[in-house]
Amino acid sequence: MPDLPSSTTVLDSILFRDAFGTPAMREVFSDLALVSRYAEVEVALAKAEARCGVIPAEAAEEIARRTDVAALDFDLLRQETDVVGYPILPLVHQMTKQCGEAGRYVHWGATTQDIMDTAVVLQIRAAFQLIEADIAVLRDILADLSRRHRDTPMAGRTHLQQALPVTFGYKTAIWLSMFDRHAERLEQLKPRVLVGQFAGAAGTLASLGDKGLDVQRALCEELGLGVPAATWHVARDGFAEAVNFLALVTGTLGKIALDIMLMASTEFAELYEPFVKGRGASSTMPQKRNPISSELMLAAAKGVRQQAGLMLDAMVQDFERATGPWHAEWMAIPESFVLTAGALHQAKFALGGLVVDTKKMAGNLDISRGLIVAEAVMMGLAPAIGRQEAHDVVYDACRLANDKGMTLADALSADPRVAERIDRPTIERLTSPKNYLGLAPDMVDRVLASMKR
């Protein structure tokens, strides 16, 4: 029989992997890419030590020339990793054989965690490039939606009840402002996170004598990474910050997804994800058009949030080398990045082709028959009849409108306290929701103006 799919998680599942991730991000965190990063760090270390006179230059050249990840025995690597508990010693065994006489200088003065931590930093750097590009695309999409719908009136809702009118562009500008801040956060955290690790067994670089810090600096230069002020074997705030940043990004995507799902419900019918034949179809209800991308975004947000908590828990480490919390990072970091990439991919699809039903938004805004702008009417009447009387008049008119199914304008016109002072056109203007948008359009302009590119 041919080999059948055997993956056990959605990240690698042949069925779900492109729903919850992207090929590009999976590649960054694949086994081959990870082992390649380990080898990259080992080669860079040899070059750095040669530059500092710690090992012969010829040995470093041989290590760089003869290291061949494609020629590694990955099955043996798996078996030995299972025995040792870490993959670096098994890798060093094979690299040593590949490099011949120069092999004795592989991994000189390093400890396993130095290589593994630095390799993960290289993965995170590559992953951040993908995240950064996706955020840039989303900001452009949201900016376009905000411009186009700057003045599109709709019901603003608090506690799931209609509150006051807003515009759809105001809503998307709020989404955009969050992604503007995420772009800023990403730039700010890079210097804190993209830092190399080379410190030796207990973090003191004792095995290299007075050359330790020179080698550390040279290694980081070889890899294009920042130089740490101190060993971070058990100072895991950088990695925790990286994953919690992803939790913020996916938290925003979860909020957007929830809004889209609610607004796409039959009773609202204000938004729809792009139409693709068969997408979101039900096996029993042909009329269904389920918001699949939003559902996946929300699920990813929940998953990353759990991993963010795990990363915070993994910060609590014992003494100079952890007994377990470090291993938790091996689960949390790849999964968080893959899920975030998947959620961003779904967001680009959903928002990039979002169907906005402006007529339905206007219709929903009118279902309260003007009651949604009772505050506006009260403030508009106040100069003519006094603020307290205006409150009482509008309160009575709202009750009448509710009891009789009337519009607020009709209820106000039926009240002589109003009809004797204010003409019908003025009442109509005061009770029109689109005339009470506040500074929503101006806030759209402010977000667009402050958008950093």
Known catalytic residues are: 159, 282
Give me the amino acid identity at 226: G
Cα of first residue to Cα of last residue in the chain, in angstroms, is 54
For the chain, the residue count is 453
Angle, vertex CA 271, rays to CA 265 and CA 273, nearest 5: 95
Token digits of residue 274: 């792009």
DSSP 155: E
Between the CA of residue 139 and those of 125, 246, 250, 380, 427, what are the distances in Å?
21, 16, 14, 38, 40
How much is the CA Rg of the chain, to the nearest whole Å?
30
Neighbours of 420 (CB within 10 A): 9
Helix (H, G, I), strand (E, B) or coil at 165: strand
Q: Please classify residue 383 by burial: count the beta carbons closer than 10 Å to its beta carbon, then call 0-12 exposed, 13-18 middle and 19+ buried.
A: exposed
**DSSP-assigned letters across all residues of 338-372:** HHHHHHHHHHHHHHHT-EE-HHHHHHHHHTTTTGG
Residue with tokens 């339905």, as numbered in its chain = 360
